[in-house]
Amino acid sequence: MMIKKCIVITQEKISLEEIDSIKSLLDAGCERIHIRKPNSIDSELRPYLDLLCSKVDSSKLTMHYYHNLAKEYGFGGVHGFSEKAEMFDFKSVSSHSIEEMENLNNIDYSFISPVFDSISKVGYKSAFSLENLKNFIDKKPLFDVVALGGIDVSKLDLLKENHFNTIALLGGVWKDGCENATNNFLKIYNKWK
């Protein structure tokens, strides 16, 4: 039986309160944390990253968008394609169709989303057949296919039945704010592993 893994993606807005939650999530068994701050600028990110990297092992972090900062802060991975991606231990991308995934190479994993209707993005509906995703996973691609979107405790058995080994969580963890993030994670993680 494959080891089941769990990745958490941060909230979009910078929050210093989130840093303690990230530390707690990693301590609770989260495999990787994806730092995703799409609307932030360098001068806003640096104080956040300074504090974050003083509290957690930055090799367990993956950066979206700001690959130059990922290298500077010693992150273990980057998300998305760039010329800097080869310098990192972990490389990931997002896919929104099986066709996109069929053309991928030189990555460690691809998010496929939304597998279920999104929790954090209202109106973001799944367009996937779990059977088609299972068939793709069964072909043994050279990267891990990571389920993202609408994942809560009620969906875990379906994901296992369809041969997913890794899930990525966003809304299911952060839906009740930072103060409940670790509890929300553990409810899912303990049933997943």
Cα-based torsion angle of the residue sequence 89, 23, 165, 63 in order, rounded to the nearest 10 degrees: -40
Q: How confident is the model at residue 90 (pLDDT cuts 50, 70, 90)?
A: confident
Residue with tokens 């707690």: 24
Q: What is the pLDDT of residues 30-81, one digit of tens each?
A: 999 999 999 999 999 999 999 999 999 999 999 999 999 999 999 999 998 7
Helix axes 16-27, 181-192, angle to 10 degrees: 30
Q: What is the DSSP string of 141-190?
A: -SSEEEEESS--GGGHHHHHHTT--EEEESHHHHTT-GGGHHHHHHHHHH
pTM score, whole prediction: 0.94
Q: What is the pLDDT of residues 93-121, one digit of tens each?
A: 999 999 999 988 889 999 999 999 888 77
Cα-based torsion angle of the residue sequence 148, 137, 79, 24 in order, rounded to the nearest 10 degrees: 50
- The larger pLDDT score, comparing residue 132 to residue 122, is at 132
| CATH fold group of domain 5-192 | TIM Barrel (3.20.20)
pLDDT of residue 119: 81
